[in-house]
Amino acid sequence: MATATKIVQRLRNFLAGRDLQAKLQLRYDEIAKRTQPPPKLPVGPSHKFANNYYCTRDGRRESVPATIVMSQQKALTAGSEVAKTTKAPVTPGTVYEPPPLSTDQPYL
């Protein structure tokens, strides 16, 4: 459409009943610019230049469990034994029995 001559453009606009080129000028405001500003990303584990292997790029892999500095449980000393306690076996509850149906009402 942009390579058509002026005569062909006017004939086409006359037969269409409207200006077909009007929408094309608005199109350039909707399209993203060719030169984009660089993204502003925070520095993370993948921004290293060396020792940046595929398996270590994920920041979640670099997290480790918390280090226990002090525990409230008493540590066992060498030669001490812990008293073994036996648990009672778990027994299931009662079996569900559905309530009996009423005999005086018709079955729906």
- Could you tell me the pTM of the whole model? 0.23
The pLDDT tens digits along the chain (108 residues) read 457 888 998 999 899 998 887 766 656 666 777 888 888 878 876 677 777 777 766 767 767 788 888 777 777 677 666 666 778 888 888 888 888 877 777 665
Alpha-carbon distance 94 to 82, whole Å?
36
Distances (CA, A) of 23 to 7, 30, 32, 81: 19, 11, 17, 87
